Amino acid sequence: MLPATVHGLLRSYRRKELSPVEVVAEHLARIERLDPTLNAFVVVDVEGATAAAAESAERWARAEPIGDLDGIPVTIKDIVAMAGFPTSEGSSVSSDEPAAADAPPVARLREANAVLLGKTTTSEFGWKGMTDSPRFGITRNPWDADHTPGGSSGGAGASLAAGIGAVAHGSDGGGSIRIPASYCGLVGLKPTFGRVPQAPVDSPFVSLVANGPLARSVEDAGLLLNVLSRPDIRDWHAVPHDDRDWRVGLDDGLTGLRIAYSETYGGAVVEPDVAAICRRVVDRLVDAGADITEVGPVIEPLRPQLEGYWKAGFATRLATIPSDRWGELDPGFRVLAQEGMTFDVHGMAEANAARARLVETMRRFHLDHDILLTPTMPTPPPPVDTTYHSPGFDRWDHAVPFTVPFNYTGQPAASIPAGVTAGGPVLPVGLQVVATHFREDLVLRAARAVLDLVGWTWPDPALTAALENLT
């Protein structure tokens, strides 16, 4: 079996135990074997990946690797541009014209000499926390193919959990990295807004979105953040580049950190099995000497303040699509987008004021607490035939109550594995780690300490068994 992490692969390359050619060939073979069930890929670049692996192998043979990810197989979410391939965003109405240039995250990965395996699936325009679309169908969770891997970076999460790629690119505008991380048993980091440059920057949701890593270890997430956060002149929202190595300090543990835990953040209601799993982790942290305070809801529910803002963003996108093609859209997206057309400038002003109040609340909160822990999701992964944003699975109640607040504030937040459900099927549950703006170091440090205590490593035995059944 290949090393599970980027760091393990790089060590094998240095010792000449493995070649990038062997590693990439194995990943491509795994896609061919598993993706007919998972449906996690929009396109697989066999020719490009094979050529890049051969070039990397030559550099490693000379002991002259170039870049932090030389020869490392990576996947790209089909929400950003990858030169030579269309950017479909999961939609039949998107252009099939190949992108002329790479988006900033893809450009940084190429500069680091990562091997790009292909583009992974997303819900249409990334609108929901499950991954299915009229164009590409349903993406499935490798833990149990009858359940969703989450979304909208669902193809990234499903493929990485299934052993495809060493690390994955995702984007997060309401939880779209953290949701698949929770549902697939991975580490997923949404950086501070502006930490990772993006382009174009004309989306109505641009101030909510952060590109970032899905990984099998905290170290790998930190390494990918090093790469993705390098400057790009195309993004005027980007914060000044911080050239630190985000892996430094991962071993510092929880000593000295003031940690808050909220199971009811923003009025969320958590299913009992999720609550029990997260509670066991918190209890173990307390037993190990961590300074943890339970804090309750902290903020008011966001739905009354921001639901119109959410729909208005969809309406803006809908307005760019010829009306005679609206019938090709995901019906759930279309309904919300049409409702958003009634949102006016006064509503937008009120929503922006609500965001400002939320940011101030959380900044004051972090004066007393370095880290906030919450469940990532209120439920385990739902079945793939669940209707998103319906009475049975409401977006605000069941999908994003813990994740979307930190898109509105722009804070860094990560999901890490907390455990698995006890019944059948066995499914993963995530714990969210949040810090104040620009403190990804604290998020990664706390995430690493918690995972060390929990003893989580990929693959979990239940996932190993599930993957055997997929083949």
Q: Which residues are catalytic?
A: 77, 152, 176
Chain centre distance of CA 345: 31
SS3 227: helix
SS3 449: helix
Q: Cα(250)–Cα(119) distance, rounded to whole angstroms?
A: 30
Q: What is the DSSP string of 258-307?
A: EEEE-SSGGG----HHHHHHHHHHHHHHHHTT-EEEE-TT-S--SHHHHH
Backbone angles phi, psi at 222, to 5 degrees: -65, -40
SS3 102: coil
Backbone angles phi, psi at 57, to 5 degrees: -60, -40
Which residues have C-beta within 8 Å of that of residue 97, sequence separation ≥ 6? 86
Q: Cα(13)–Cα(226) distance, rounded to whole angstroms?
A: 20
Helix (H) or strand (E) segment spanning residue 452 = helix 440-454
Bond into 86 cis (ω within 30): no
SS3 437: coil
Backbone angles phi, psi at 212, to 5 degrees: -170, -175
**Sign of the CA dihedral with 393 first, then 397, 403, and 404 last:** positive
SS3 214: strand
Place of tokens 């997060």: 172
User: Which letter does DSSP use for residue 455 in this model?
Assistant: T
* Pair of tokens at residue 352: 């922006």
User: Which letter does DSSP use for residue 404 in this model?
Assistant: T
Q: Cα(278)–Cα(138) distance, rounded to whole angstroms?
A: 29
Q: Do 92 and 56 form a contact (C-beta atoms < 8 A)?
A: no
User: Which letter does DSSP use for residue 10 in this model?
Assistant: H
Helix (H) or strand (E) segment spanning residue 132 = strand 132-133
Chain centre distance of CA 437: 18
Chain centre distance of CA 335: 26
Q: Do 218 and 416 form a contact (C-beta atoms < 8 A)?
A: yes
What is the DSSP pairing of strand 413-420 with strand 187-190?
antiparallel
Amino acid, res. 243? D
